Amino acid sequence: GQGLQNYSLDEASLYPVKNLALGPGLKMADLCASPGGKSLASIFAVEGQGEWLCGDLSPARLQRLKAVFHDCLPPQIMSQVRIMLGDSSRWGLRFKNQFDRVLVDAPCSGERHLLETPKELARWSAKSSKRLAMRQHALLCAGLDSLKPGGRAVYSTCSISKIENDGVIEKLLKSRPNQFKILKINEAEGEPTTHGWILLPDKCGTGPIYFSVLQKNI
């Protein structure tokens, strides 16, 4: 059997996809798609009725993404999915105002992974978190620019760093004033932050996942 049941996905990862408010016939972009779980969840949410552009910067990660898609998707749905290698922070120029829904599941410091890997934790610093936040902001700007007016974007990370979470949204409010509004989130699990929502493993048994939901102004 093919489907999402073939793919192992942390339950918290489904929350950003759920908050995209998907429906059939939409054009969707996933700027940082590998390893593919969130893209798959979005495809199965509408039973493959839509178009997807899925990108990644790393050739190795993109190969993994292709393998996951081929394992989990029938050929007729694969024909509606375009996979693109390259820097998706440039998609704002290349695909301006083209998508109904955009997911920016940004590369992040992923502290849960750090805590499980002492060597990585020793290497981590606030400076590296700030560097990541610059990249995250660039990706989110591209996502917003590639979104159709009235479209919805979800920004998410698996970090607990405010710099990489609400901090990125705060920077976007300054760099793109009056271009979008932040939508209210109300989930049964997790808790609100200033600009989004967070699920923490010590409280929810899943995560961490942070996400913020944005609607582009018309």
Q: Using CA atoms, how far apart are residues 36 and 193, in angstroms rounded to an integer?
A: 26
Say which residues have a Cβ less than 8 Å from residue 2's Cβ, sequence separation at least 6: 71, 72, 73, 74
Active-site residue list: 158
Q: What is this structure's pTM?
A: 0.89
Question: Rounded to an integer, what distance in angstroms lies between the CA atom of residue 205 and that of residue 152?
Answer: 28
Question: Positive or negative, the Cα torsion across 109, 111, 115, 117?
Answer: negative
Residues 119-149 have pLDDT tens digits of 655 565 566 777 888 889 999 999 999 999 9
Pseudo-torsion of CA 174, 128, 147, 76, nearest 10°?
A: -170
CA distances from 72 to 51, 62, 68, 83 (A): 16, 15, 6, 15
* Per-residue pLDDT tens over the stretch 163-205: 999 999 999 999 999 999 999 999 999 999 999 999 998 777 7
Hey, how many other C-beta atoms are within 10 angstroms of the C-beta on 6? 12
Q: Residue 109 in contact with residue 128, Cβ under 8 Å? A: yes
- Rounded average pLDDT over 108-128: 60
CA distance 186 to 183: 10
pLDDT higher than 50, residue 5: no
